Amino acid sequence: MQISDKSRLATFLLAFFLGPLGVHRFYVGKIGSGIAMLLLTLTIIGMLATGIWSLVDWIMAVSGLFRDADERLIKAW
């Protein structure tokens, strides 16, 4: 199992404060889904969807189950 060099704390904080904008996904290299979240946030329904999406990502980041673009776990705080 490979571990990512990205920070779990940074991922957690970005997901918590800027989650619906997808900034945490840009940080871990998931550019496509980051753009999708950013564009979805422009609509009311999309904002609700990205709010839930970012909450799930936030929980995964806290629990150490979130992965970067290369599918490596982000474990290091």
Query: Residue range 6-16: average pLDDT?
Result: 96
Residue 53 belongs to a domain? yes
Residue 5 belongs to a domain? no
Query: Residue range 27-54: average pLDDT?
Result: 95
- Three-state SS annotation for the chain: CCECCCCHHHHHHHHHHHHHHCHHHHHCCCHHHHHHHHHHCCCHHHHHHHHHHHHHHHHHHHHCCCECCCCCECCCC
When divided into structural domains, the chain yields a total of 1
pLDDT at position 1 over 80: no
Residue 3 belongs to a domain? no
Residue 74 belongs to a domain? no
Residue 73 belongs to a domain? no
Confidence of residue 12 (pLDDT cuts 50, 70, 90): very high
Q: 44-59, pLDDT tens digit by residue?
A: 899 999 999 999 999 9
